[in-house]
Amino acid sequence: MEQPDNLEEQLTAQLSAVTDVTSIQDGRLRDQLASYINELILRNFDRLISLLYRMDIPEQKLKALLKANEKEDAGHIIASLMIERQLQKIKTRQESAGNDVAYDDEERW
């Protein structure tokens, strides 16, 4: 995965286009994202922290997963959390869009 300026937008677009969540978690997208994250860990840790903050990745959850899975690749763990978070955001947006209520002109303020 290239080092995009807005990884969150690219990730959201890619996830929105995929309908099978299992293929996302086990697929190439996760591996590419993990590779990019590992590069950030080695070369630009501040950017990774910023990205995690912008994507609203829960710090305590990340720390707990990294500690519980010390022998696993940190990039894959973080990539899975990012994908999970983006899927949550997409689901919430879809649910919100479906809850729009039509009001007649008298009920509007």
Report how many domains make up the chain: 1
**Crossing angle, helix 28-43 and helix 7-17, to 10 degrees?**
170
Query: What is residue 60's predicted lDDT score, i.e. its pLDDT?
Result: 95
Assigned domain for 70 exists: yes
Assigned domain for 53 exists: yes
Identify residue 92 by its one-letter amino acid code: T
Between residues 42 and 98, which one has the greater pLDDT? 42
Assigned domain for 2 exists: no
**7-13: average pLDDT:** 68
Between residues 77 and 93, which one has the greater pLDDT? 77
Domain containing residue 30 = 7-91
Assigned domain for 48 exists: yes
Residues 6+ apart with CB under 8 A from 36: 1, 2, 3, 7, 75
| pTM summary value | 0.72
**9-14: average pLDDT:** 69
Assigned domain for 100 exists: no
Residues 6+ apart with CB under 8 A from 21: 87
